[in-house]
Structure formats: structure tokens, C-alpha cells
Amino acid sequence: MRLYTAHARAGSPPVLAREGFSWLALLFGPFWLLAHRAWIPGVLALCLAIVFAVVAPTEFAGPLELLLAWVSGLFGQDLRRWSLARASYELVAVIAAPDEDAALARLLDRRPDLIGDALGIPVPA
């Protein structure tokens, strides 16, 4: 079982963020953050990667890049959640499920009011 946090905002589909280490964030770092709309951390990580590659002495550039990648893997999901909170998404549930589809099904079972937003259907007031 994996843990997911569910974040919702009126008029937008809910977003699920998996808890724990992210291998894709480790491998793709700033680009993974940017793909998940974590703009501020993504741009800062990209700037750091460029600074490490250009300014740092050769013997330190590699280890610094590896450190940045490791930190991205460790804290990537947390930075994603922080960015969601800045975009007015609220934490609505913590869900244990084997995969993201099952987590979404459990969320919509627990919170039927989010079904319209999840499917993109306007719900009458």
C-alpha cells in the first residue's frame, strides 16, 4: 500500500501526490518539478544545476549535481504539495491505496462532492 495526499480546489480536478521518495524526481530533477507545476522550486533547482555546472570547480560539480538530484528525490513530492498549497489547493484527504487509480476511486467514494470536478462536469449550485 502507498499513501497519497489528495488536494482539491473548486472547479479543478483533484490532484493526488504520492508520499515518499520519487525516483523520477531524482532522475529528472528540475524538469520533473516543472512538469508537476511546481514552478518556483523547479526554476530554483534548474538555476542551481546551471550554477553548479558552470561556476563550481570540476571536482565539486559532479557531487553537487548528485546532491541536488538526491534532494529532489527526497523532497520532490513535498515541494509539489507546497506548490499546490500556494495555488489554493486544499488538503482534503490522505488515502492508502495500491496505485493512483485506486486512490482516486477511494477519494471519490469518500468525497462524492468532488466527482463533478474530477470529471470536468459543472455541478449546479
SS (H, E, C) the chain: CEEEEEEEECCEEEEEEECCCCHHHHHHHHHHHHHCCCHHHHHHHHHHHHHHHHCCCHHHHHHHHHHHHHHHHHHHHHHHHHHHHHCCCEEEEEEEECCHHHHHHHHHHHCHHHHHHHHCCCCCC
What percent of the chain clears pLDDT 70, i.e. is strictly above it? 96
Res. 7 pLDDT band, cuts 50 70 90: very high
For residue range 23-53, list pLDDT tens digits in order.
999 999 999 999 999 999 999 999 999 999 9
Judged against a pLDDT cut of 80, whether residue 120 lies above it is answered with no
Which carries the bigger pLDDT value, residue 114 or residue 67?
67
The residues spanned by each domain of the chain are 2-119
Is pLDDT at 113 greater than 90 in this prediction?
A: no
Mean of per-residue pLDDT scores for the chain: 92
pLDDT of amino acid 73: 96
